[in-house]
């Protein structure tokens, strides 16, 4: 007899052996399922009537098989509780492991404390407010939201909400028709890298200090990354060459040094793009978090036709949402949408509707303001704890700070941190291999990463690490 299915709240898959009687074959299939662990102890089986109907056999045959297994101890049967797999039935050990000595190995774990940059405080995710927004979004969701999604740009509701927010909070010219939703910054960068390659771009400029994962995405698309020197005024955009087809910048808060790109260098970047026909890829990864200075608007506002603006919810909410967006110039829009493809395979429509409702209701602004205050307090505590021992920079914005060290000491400090069970990252980790810049020893401290309960002991561990 071939495979069959039976249903009692959950599907039951049985393989009945050919050449055996129906009762014996059913009993052996159930016995094997319990013995092998496919039917866990306590699992309730379908009624004899339901299973018989699904298998196309007599009800008495099923009842007799159940009775046999109850007698053997594989099953239990109680009035009102139905027939269940006996609690003492346990999965058998694999034959290869039988008789082999058991070796107890301690579970591997990471450091007790972490100040690695790049993550917000995940424990501060606004669960209650997000759940409320999700309920409202689900209640009001149109039927087509449960389909495959015909528009490769993403849900119009979120694109409209983002257009208003980005214009108001970041100074972005954001027509909803030019917004393309993606599953985070790396996804957006992959799409753009593919578009540049199709345009026969060979070289793209990047900041001399930058994330290697971003550089890897670009080189993986066949592009060569050419580093720009970075100093206290940000990337030296005046050095952009005519042979470069695009540049990736973090103008509002250079990652990782924390510098803000000066107005003169912003103008130089836009002038280069207009003169050469190049594209500027703007990574506005933490634009919402400013502490000691007026908001620094997006570079995109200077020339929406030459700048692709990229933002995400990874720092403001959580990276696990996999929610990002691009504001794309008209001349590139069709190519980006084609690269992403139709329908929209990458982001859940319901998550998009939830974020749209979260923004429209004002919950997003309230959350960002609250987190801005929380992170500023952490930054102040960090400066107070270590500021008399090392120079601290890059602290006017964002979720990380740079601690400058005496020349030649970065590696030793990272080793000392490991003795304190503290995860730290050195500035050299972000240096482009071909960067023409003087060496700089420093630590990049992500003060958004620890939970509230871990913040004080983490700060203590950092203080104990420094000379």
Distance CA 34, CA 109 (A): 34
Domain at 4-94, CATH from 2.60.120.460, 3.30.930.10, 1.10.260.30, 1.10.10.10? 1.10.10.10
Coil, strand or helix: which one is 8?
Answer: strand
Q: What is the pLDDT of residue 11?
A: 66
More confident residue, 89 or 21: 21
Task: Mention every residue, 6+ apart, whose C-beta is less than 8 A from residue 54.
Answer: 4, 5, 6, 7, 46
pLDDT band, very low/low/confident/very high, at 56 (cuts 50, 70, 90): confident
Q: What is the pLDDT of residue 89?
A: 46
Are 352 and 153 contacting, i.e. CB atoms less than 8 angstroms apart? Answer: no
Least-confidence region, from 322-331, 423-432, 451-460: 451-460
pLDDT band, very low/low/confident/very high, at 17 (cuts 50, 70, 90): low
Are 340 and 152 contacting, i.e. CB atoms less than 8 angstroms apart? Answer: yes
Distance CA 358, CA 368 (A): 12
Of 209, 216, 214, nearest in space to 234 by CA: 209
- For residue 455, the tally of other CB atoms under 10 A from its CB is 18
Domain boundaries, the chain: 4-94, 114-118+365-465, 126-361
- For residue 406, the tally of other CB atoms under 10 A from its CB is 11
Q: What is the pLDDT of residue 12?
A: 73
Task: Return the ∠ at Cα 184 (arms to 180 and 188), rounded to 5°.
Answer: 50
More confident residue, 219 or 293: 219
Burial bucket for residue 33 (CB in 10 Å: 0-12, 13-18, 19+): buried
Of 255, 279, 264, 118, nearest in space to 198 by CA: 279
Q: What is the pLDDT of residue 245?
A: 96
pLDDT band, very low/low/confident/very high, at 52 (cuts 50, 70, 90): confident
Q: What is the pLDDT of residue 10?
A: 53
What is the pTM for the complete model shown?
0.84
Q: What is the pLDDT of residue 292?
A: 80
Question: Averaged over 235-250, what is the pLDDT?
Answer: 94
Least-confidence region, from 99-113, 237-251, 389-403, 421-435: 99-113
Q: Give bridge partners of residue 308 from the DSSP assignment.
A: 281
Distance CA 254, CA 257 (A): 6
pLDDT band, very low/low/confident/very high, at 293 (cuts 50, 70, 90): low
- For residue 20, the tally of other CB atoms under 10 A from its CB is 14
Are 285 and 258 contacting, i.e. CB atoms less than 8 angstroms apart? Answer: no
The answer to whether residue 319 scores a pLDDT higher than 90 is yes
pLDDT band, very low/low/confident/very high, at 267 (cuts 50, 70, 90): very high
- The alpha-helical segments, DSSP class H, found in 327-362 are 330-340, 349-360
Distance CA 216, CA 33 (A): 47
**% of the chain with per-residue pLDDT over 90:** 69
CATH code of 114-118+365-465, in short, is 3.90.1150.10
Are 423 and 114 contacting, i.e. CB atoms less than 8 angstroms apart? Answer: yes
pLDDT (tens digit per residue) in 97-145: 444 445 555 555 678 899 999 999 999 999 999 999 999 999 999 999 9
Fold of the domain built from segment(s) 126-361: 3.40.640
pLDDT band, very low/low/confident/very high, at 22 (cuts 50, 70, 90): confident
Q: What is the pLDDT of residue 202?
A: 96
Of 303, 293, 371, nearest in space to 120 by CA: 371
Mean pLDDT of the chain: 89
Least-confidence region, from 131-135, 202-206, 385-389: 385-389
């Amino acid at each position: 007899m071939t495979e069959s299915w039976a249903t009692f709240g959950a599907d039951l898959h049985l393989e009945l052996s050919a050449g055996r009687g129906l009762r014996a074959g059913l009993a052996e299939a159930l016995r094997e399922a319990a013995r092998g662990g496919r039917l866990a102890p306590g699992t309730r089986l379908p009624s004899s009537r339901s299973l018989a109907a699904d298998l196309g056999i007599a009800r008495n045959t099923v009842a007799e098989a159940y009775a046999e297994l109850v007698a053997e101890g594989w099953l239990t049967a109680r009035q009102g509780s139905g027939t269940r797999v006996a609690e003492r039935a346990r999965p058998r050990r694999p034959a290869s492991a039988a008789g082999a000595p058991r070796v107890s190995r301690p579970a591997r774990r990471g450091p007790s404390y972490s100040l690695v940059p790049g993550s917000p405080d995940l424990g501060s995710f606004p669960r209650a407010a997000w759940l409320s927004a999700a309920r409202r979004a689900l209640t009001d969701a149109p039927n087509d939201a449960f389909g495959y999604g015909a528009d490769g740009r993403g849900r119009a509701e979120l694109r409209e909400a983002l257009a208003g927010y980005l214009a108001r909070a970041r100074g972005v010219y954001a027509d909803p028709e030019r917004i393309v939703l993606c599953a985070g910054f790396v996804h957006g960068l992959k799409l753009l890298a593919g578009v540049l390659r199709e345009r026969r771009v060979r070289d793209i400029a990047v900041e001399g200090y930058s994330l290697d994962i971003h550089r890897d995405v670009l080189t993986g698309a066949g592009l060569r990354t050419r580093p720009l020197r970075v100093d206290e005024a940000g990337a030296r955009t005046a050095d952009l060459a005519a042979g470069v087809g695009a540049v990736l910048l973090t103008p509002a808060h250079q990652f990782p040094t924390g510098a803000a790109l000066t107005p003169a260098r912003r103008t130089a970047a836009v002038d280069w793009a207009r003169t050469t026909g190049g594209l500027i890829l703007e990574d506005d990864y933490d634009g919402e978090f400013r502490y000691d200075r007026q908001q620094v608007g997006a570079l995109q506002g200077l020339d929406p036709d030459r700048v692709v603006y990229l933002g995400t919810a990874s720092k403001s909410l959580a990276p696990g949402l996999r929610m990002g967006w691009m504001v794309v110039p008209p001349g590139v829009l069709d190519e980006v949408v084609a690269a992403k493809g139709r329908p929209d395979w990458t982001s859940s429509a319901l998550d998009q509707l939830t974020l749209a409702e979260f923004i429209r209701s004002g919950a997003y602004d309230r959350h960002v303001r609250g987190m801005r205050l929380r992170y500023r307090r952490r930054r102040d505590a960090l400066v107070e704890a270590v500021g008399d021992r090392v120079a601290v920079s890059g602290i006017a914005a964002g979720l990380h700070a740079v601690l400058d060290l005496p020349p030649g000491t970065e590696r030793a400090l990272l080793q000392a941190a490991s003795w304190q069970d503290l995860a730290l990252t050195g500035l050299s980790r972000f240096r482009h291999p071909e960067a023409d810049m003087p060496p700089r020893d420093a630590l990049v401290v992500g003060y958004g990463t620890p939970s509230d309960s871990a913040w004080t002991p983490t700060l203590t561990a950092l203080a104990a690490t420094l000379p």
